[in-house]
Amino acid sequence: MHGFINIIEILDLLFFLIGNRNRGKNESKTDESGLSYHFDMLAIFLGCTKNSVPEDYANAVSNLRIEIENIEKIPLQKTKVTINGTTCEGMLSFKKRSEYLKKNRQVWINIFENFDKIIDSKNGTEWYGNALFCAGYGAVKIANLESSVESTDAALSYISKFLELNNEYETDQWTRKQMGKIFWEKVSPHLLSAISEKKNLDQFFLIARAALWENKKKNTTMAIDDYKSVLKISSDSFWGQQALQQLALYNQP
């Protein structure tokens, strides 16, 4: 599409590279503003044990974590791509991960069905927002790995509902622990201390939603709106810089 990048794939590739760089290290992650995202495990277990987490929610999150970990264990494959007669070597392919997803499709169907039940039954509780966060992130991963209208629509729906949450939302400590390796450790270097956790997550999900509009739905108007919404939160963040680059390709101010 006129040279536009697929930000969903860029996010996955970024997380893949960060994971390789940090593998074997036990470091706390700190962003440029000095905000530490090191998880105090003692505080987590004292403040929120699994016994205080609804069983259906705990099972859904655990299954999501296991499946994402299984996908991310599959190495990306180097391949060749020919564009306008020029062959580029060393491009990374997600093909093997997509094949794994296809073989385990029913597992993912069950995971999202369970999250849907939780979202329907837990509205008004802290687990509603946490379930939307987890399901939204999982759905973005899946939408990137398969060409399915249903997967794209599901991801758009989860993200939109998460964005509607008020700014007081905070991810509970048990969920942070469960999602630590597959999400928080990867994004924490790109979170800003100057804005709330919700606003940080809003930027992440707005970028992901814009990429879905752009690459899956071919709706550039909606994509531009989301990129601009990222900038309304902050243009100085990592996500703000990605939005600026995309808007520049559209010749948008």
Which of 78-87, 155-164, 211-220 shows the lowest mean pLDDT across its residues?
78-87
State the DSSP code for 25: -
- Tokens 């999900």 belong to 205
How would residue 85 be classed by pLDDT, with cut points 50, 70 and 90? confident
Tokens of 152: 């794209």
Range from 90-99, 111-120, 197-206, 239-248 carrying the lowest mean pLDDT: 90-99
pLDDT at 119: 97
Task: Inform me whether the pLDDT recorded for 158 exceeds 50.
Answer: yes
Contacts of 245 (CB under 8 A, 6+ apart): none
What pLDDT score was predicted for residue 19? Answer: 44
pTM of the model: 0.79
Specify the DSSP element, H or E, that contains 156: helix 149-163
Contacts of 239 (CB under 8 A, 6+ apart): 190, 203, 204, 206, 207, 230
Contact 155, 212 (CB under 8 A): yes
Residue 65 reports pLDDT greater than 70: yes
Sorted by sequence, the CB contacts under 8 Å of residue 196 that are 6+ apart come out as 167
Q: Which residues contact 155 (CB under 8 A, 6 or more apart)?
A: 136, 139, 140, 142, 143, 208, 209, 212
Provide the pLDDT confidence category of residue 1 given band limits of 50, 70 and 90.
very low
pLDDT at 9: 57
Two structure tokens written together for 228? 């601009």
Alpha-carbon span 128 to 121, nearest angstrom: 8
Task: Extract the tokens encoding 225.
Answer: 């709106």
The SS3 assignment for 1 reads: coil
